[in-house]
Each structure stands twice: as structure tokens, then as C-alpha cells.
A = this chain, B = another copy of it.
Amino acid sequence: MIVIVKPQAPQEKVNEFIQWIESQNFKTHVSTGDYSTIIGLIGDTSRLQEDQLLSYDIVEAVKKVTEPFKQANRKFHPHDTIVPVGDSGLKIGHGNFAMIAGPCSVESEEQVIGIAKLVKQAGATMLRGGAFKPRTSPYDFQGLKADGIKFLLEAKQETGLPIVSEIMNINHLPLFEDVDVIQVGARNMQNFELLRELGKTNKPILLKRGLANTIKELLMSAEYIMSGGNENVILCERGIRTFETTTRNTLDLSAVPVLHELTHLPVIVDPSHATGVARYVKPMAMAAAACGADGLIIEVHNDPIHALCDGAQSLLPEQFADVAGAVNAIRIAAGSAR
């Protein structure tokens, strides 16, 4: 950690500050320039709050040198993590590509089993479906809840596809016992109480980036889960909030190579929620595959017009088959070009 001292700081105040730092068991290195003095702090600075240092009147700025995430950090864990999905044999990461598809909401037993069969045939390796739905309005459909999970499990039974579904309340955890991957939605990315409890399970967690969260905050949220002992975290880029209005959010695909550099965890992309428009899903899915994503999560509905949520961004099963084929072609080309 580096502390930059204000130009006019009186020397005695600087000395006092250095004494305090050293009393906290840090070593210091001081560089004095024409315009400013710089103090390097050596030691485990993860114990120190930037704010504490900034409170000293003589301090102009504080710069962290080492990243605050440890377990998620590729520096300390250079090899790609491969997340195993249930007892299905399916894996995600390090070349294992996840093609997750399914309806936004589970609406009925027939619906979800029907879609599951179709997406499996079209190339999906996992089934997604929402049983508990985070909706901006309390008056919108909130999901079938326990019944939704039940129908998903039936679809899993029928098709063999592992399932992923979103949790919104830690008290619902018992319902997720047979769910293969538990999703934490964008709005709960910094619901630290939920993350901490999921860290105590051994379930793979699909952690979506919040709409206004930086890549480093996403990694800190992964760290919450991992610091509890659960290393099976899958990160998901799903668009961030910007001023642009032609798409629901702005898909930040640069996050894929940036995350691959900073962390060993797998990174997947959700083009459906990011764009909010079905006809942009194919090009963005292809782009995600081209820049190295470890998987995709795509909304598919057999009857988008009558879907109870997010119909505008859902593909028909035959459209999904077309996307899956295109993504496959891109992955082959990208793989040999890498």
C-alpha cells in the first residue's frame, strides 16, 4: 500500500503518522520528491482500511497495490478452476463449455419438461428456469416457488439435464437440495448474508454481476462465497447499466478477458438479459464465444408471446438450435486461433 503525503505537510505530522503505521507492525519506505513524499507500507495491508489512512490530514491519497481478493485471485492460483456440476459428469471451465438454456420462469410442469426436451435436442447441456423471480414490481408474477423447483426436478429426471435456478432467500435453501447449480441474481450480488451462507454449502454457485458493479466487486463477492469454503463459483457477465437505451443493459464483453486474467474461475455470459431483445442474442452469443467465454445462459421459451416474463428476449427452441450451432462454429474457429 502506498501513501502519498500532501505537499505542505509539516514534517512532525509526517513523523507521527509514520510512527503510528510502524506501531501497527508495518515496515515503511519513504521517498521524498520535489512535489510530494511517498510512503510505502510493507506487510499484510489487507488488515488496513484506506479510509483510516485518509483520515489523517497529511494524507493526499492512498493506493492499494495488492488486490483484496485472495482465493479468487489468479496470482495465487494460476490454474483454471474446473467446476463439476452435480454427479452428472458435466464440468464448466478450462475448455469445458456450458450451454445453459431454458425459460425465464417455470410456468407449469408441461412447459418446463417440453422446453427441456427441445433445448437438449438443440444442444443445451444444462436447463435453467426461475422458480423464485426477482421482479421490480410487487404486482408482477413472482414465480411458482416450491412447485417451480419440483417441476424443474421432473424435467431433470426426464432429460438428464442438470438444472440451475435462482435463490433469493437463504431460508429457501432446503428446497435447493437437488438443484445442481444455485444462481445468485444480479440484484443480490452484494447480498452478503446470502453469499456467506452459500459459502457453507458445496453447491456450484452461478454468481451474476450486478448492474452497477465493477469487475473487482464481482470478485469480492465471489470471495465471500469462497472464504466460507465453497470454491465452486461460476461468474456471469450479464450487462451493466449505462446511458444507452437501445439495449436493456450494455453487455460488457471485455469483462471476459479481464476476468480470465484476474481470476481462475470460469466466466459465462448471459446475452438474453444483457440485451433484452431476442434478435440480438445470436450475434452477442457468437461474440461471447469468440472472446473466450466458458459458457452461455440463454432464455428459450416455446411460446414467447405468452411467457409470463421476459418474453421479448426469449428465443424459440428452433432459434436456439441455430444459435447453438453458430456458437459451436465460432468456438472451433476461436480455439484454433487462440
Could you say which of B29, B240, B256, B288 contacts A31, with CB atoms under 8 Å apart? Answer: B29
Point out the residue from B31, B252, B283, B288 that lies within 8 Å of A292, measured CB to CB: B283
Query: Hey, which chain B residues are within 8 Å of A305, CB to CB?
Result: 52, 55-56
A227 interface residue (CB < 8 Å to B) = yes
Please tell me if A175 contacts chain B, counting CB pairs below 8 Å.
no
Chain B residues near A190: list those with CB within 8 A: 134, 136, 187
B254 touches A284 (CB 8 A): yes
Contact of A139 among B50, B68, B306, B334 (CB under 8 A): B68
Contacts of A310 in B (CB 8 A): 51
B contact residues around A283 at 8 Å (CB): 256-257, 290-292
A336 within 8 A of B: yes
Contact with B along A284-304 (1 / 0, CB 8 A): 101111111000000000001
Which residues on B sit within 8 Å (CB–CB) of A326? 334, 337-338
Q: Which residues of B contact A287 (CB under 8 A)?
A: 253, 287-288, 290-291
Within 8 Å CB of A290, what residues of B?
Answer: 283, 286-287, 289-291, 330
Complex CA distance for A231 and B220, rounded to whole angstroms: 35
A138 touches B223 (CB 8 A): yes
Residues of chain B within 8 A (CB-CB) of A288 are 287
Interface residues of chain A: helix, strand, loop or mixed (majority): mixed
Q: In the bound complex, how far is the Cα of B290 from the Cα of A292, in angstroms?
A: 12
A33 touches B38 (CB 8 A): no
Give the contacting residue for A29; candidates B38, B60, B257, B338; CB below 8 A: B38
Chain B residues contacting A217 (CB-CB under 8 Å) are: 136
A284 B336 Cβ-Cβ under 8 A: no
Cβ distance A10 to chain B, nearest Cβ, rounded Å: 16
Known contacts: A33-B65, A304-B55. The answer to whether A244 contacts B215 by CB under 8 A is: yes
Count the copies: 4
Q: Which of A154-172 contact B (CB under 8 A)?
A: 168-171
In the complex, what distance in Å separates the CA atom of A330 from the CA atom of B287? 10
Q: Is A96 an interface residue (CB 8 A)?
A: no
Alpha-carbon gap, A215 to B244, bound state (A): 7
Interface string of A267-294 (1 = CB under 8 A from B): 0000000110001100110111111100
Contact B196 A138 (CB under 8 A): yes
Closest to A28 in B: B31
Measured CB to CB, the nearest residue on chain B to A211 is: B212
Residue pair A242, B240 in contact (C-beta under 8 Å): yes
By a CB distance below 8 angstroms, the chain B residues around A65 are 4, 33, 35-36, 38, 60-61
Any chain B CB within 8 A of the CB of A66? yes
A49 within 8 A of B: yes
**B-side contacts of A61, CB under 8 Å:** 65
Q: Point out the residues of chain B lying under 8 angstroms from A140, CB to CB.
A: 49
Kindly report which residue of chain B lies nearest to residue A256, judged by CB atoms.
B283
Which residue of the partner chain B has the closest CB to A7? B75
A168 and B193 form a contact (CB under 8 A): yes
Interface 9-mer from A40-48, A82-90, A117-125? A40-48
A14–B239 alpha-carbon span in the complex (Å):
33
